[in-house]
Amino acid sequence: MLQRENQIIEINAEVDPYLELAEIHRRVIEDEGPALLFTNVKGSQFPVVTNLFGTRERVEMAIGPRPEAIVKKITQAMDKLLPPKLSNLWQERDWLFSIAKSGLRRVSPAKAPVLQVRQPRVNLKELPVLTSWQGDGGPFVTLPLVYTEHPVTREHNLGMYRIQIFSENQTGMHWQIHKGGGFHYHEAEKRGQALPVTLFLGGPPALVIAAITALPESLPELIYASFLMGEKLNMAEIDGHPHPIIAEAEFAVCGEVPPFERKPEGPFGDHYGYYSLVHEFPVFNVKQVYHRKDAIYPATVVGKPRQEDYFIGEWMQDLLAPIFPLIMPGVRALWTYAEAGFHTLAGAVVRESYHREALAHAFRILGEGQLSLTKVLMITDVPVDLKKFHVFLESVLARFNPARDLFIINNTAMDTLDYTGRKFNQGSKAIMLGLGDPVRDLPGEYTGGPIAGIDKIKPYCRGCLMISGSAYSAAPELARQVVEHGREQLQEWPLVILVDDADALKDQTGFLWTVFTRFDPAWDIYAAYEVGHNKIIYSGPIVIDARMKPDYPDELIPREDIVRQVSQRWKELFGKKQ
């Protein structure tokens, strides 16, 4: 299909999987260019395909319109289906029968293309595994489909957990605190057992979507993938391995994760746009490797938004948006922002039918699966397009009274990749409410005059002001000083954000990435306050210090010689100048 729609380019010149391939990929995805098939990858017999999901159009091509149509029918028919009546079920039979086709189907090993070739001796270094950033701890599998089963219930999980290659037969297993595979390993380790694991690469695109979707724990990822495909998913059994094998995958890497064994893993240039640091993680010992005769190694490049996960995440949220009001009554709309790495920021439109009902909805959102790791949650009861963040933020700020509408929750779990809390897996959360009638007219232009220590002042949107001055290392107390000495000049502005360079933030992507990946609420929100009846009562303006801190990981920047090398080779690679 990609070839028919001119959505893939074949690159026949030799390309190095160490840094060079990733730099080519980054340039193409930045221009929303086609998928890339590298047929001559240095050091490996296998071709590499990247950028399969690098535009909204290709994500939709990979899945098709059927899932979205069925989700809409489900939400429209809920009043007919609950309680179920035979006559009503019969009226909805077409799409119900379509869902009923979802499931798993056993096939013989002879009919499983992934089992066509078995490596005579396990050697993961024969795979063209990419090193995307010069600071990475080694080559990483970046589109891994990691299959595990609960050691007691046998419920399965298919997740995407990065895999660092340690040796010919061992990798890291980066199980994060909120992921299903990590839960399975925790249960196995409590019993002193190794956890069998199968690492799949490639196969139906729906597998990638299912592996990274934040599904309820009770919904199996393989069943969801089958639903997205519109047909059953073929599985095969092999001797000596307790898991079924996805028959249509390109590669199947079989082994186990032993209990109580850890190795340093990382650094890794991650989707927040920074390096995640070295930490101890479990190891994956590989026993068998299978692949198709004509296997193609799928990969992606992780880095500063917007990358492939941005387009997949936006599509998934649009697909699931009609379901949120069903599973969380009172939540009208919900959106997490890919530009900020998803977990750092979420916005919601909720029902406010009694005093502070919105706060109950906020806690419900923060108690729902991976949404529990949300760092900043903004809530309004005004219908607004959450995708247009400046419009949403203005709606909140016009109604925001910090004395009653700002809540900071200290000492909570954080996303493993977010280091702003200064401790691994730990940080804080902020809830901002903007409900009811407006309490102020928002300014759109700054007229307050100079502020001590600040050399740039620039509105992001009405009510939100960006300021910059000295770097944090030179003036760590600058945000506090702005609150203490600049309140008179800033009294019209409910939200002020201190950044390293206000002039550099030119669009929504740049603003969200720069701001929300660089502050922790408990550490970096400043305001005048008093304590009354055991509540902290803030008064504006609220100042957020979103400057880079000395203990934050480094921002991802390509190596200069690789950038020059790719520029020089561009005509050789694509037949045109770059």
Average pLDDT in the 296-322 region?
89
- Please report which confidence band the pLDDT of residue 209 belongs to, taking 50, 70 and 90 as the band edges: confident
pLDDT on residue 65 = 76
Report which of 22, 532, 1 is spatially closest to residue 308, judged by C-alpha positions: 22
Report which of 108, 44, 99, 105 is spatially closest to residue 77, judged by C-alpha positions: 99
Residue 298 is encoded by which pair of tokens? Answer: 């799928």
* pTM of the entire predicted model: 0.89
pLDDT at 256 over 60: yes
Within 8 A by CB and 6+ apart from 67, the residues are: 227, 228, 319
Q: Give yes or no on whether 2-83+118-298 and 318-434 have one common fold.
A: no
pLDDT tens-digit map of 327-363 = 788 999 999 999 998 889 999 999 999 999 999 999 9
pLDDT on residue 89 = 47
* 8 Å CB contact between 428 and 521: yes
Residue 256 is encoded by which pair of tokens? Answer: 């186990």
| 150, 172, 187, 475 from 163: Cα distances, Å | 20, 5, 21, 39
Provide the residue type at 181 as one letter: G
Average pLDDT in the 51-66 region?
87
pLDDT on residue 103 = 81
Instruction: Name the phi and psi angles at 114, rounded to 5.
Output: -65, -20
Residue 459 is encoded by which pair of tokens? Answer: 């509105």
CATH code given to domain 318-434? 3.40.1670.10
Percent of the chain exceeding pLDDT 90 equals: 74
Please state, in angstroms and rounded to a whole number, the distance separating the CA atoms of residues 224 and 247.
Answer: 17
CATH code given to domain 2-83+118-298? 2.30.110.10
Q: Taking the C-alpha atoms of 89, 93, 95 and 97 in order, what is their torsion angle to the nearest 10 degrees?
A: 110
Please state, in angstroms and rounded to a whole number, the distance separating the CA atoms of residues 351 and 328.
Answer: 11
By CB atoms closer than 10 A (0-12, 13-18, 19+), residue 472 is: buried
Within 8 A by CB and 6+ apart from 213, the residues are: 221, 224, 316, 320
pLDDT tens-digit map of 410-431 = 999 888 888 999 888 899 999 9
pLDDT at 272 over 70: yes
pLDDT on residue 322 = 78
What integer best gives the mean pLDDT of the chain? 90
Chain centre to alpha carbon of residue 353: 33
Instruction: Name the phi and psi angles at 346, rounded to 5.
Output: -135, 150
35 forms beta bridges with 8
pLDDT at 78 over 60: no
For the chain, the structural domain boundaries read 2-83+118-298, 318-434, 454-545
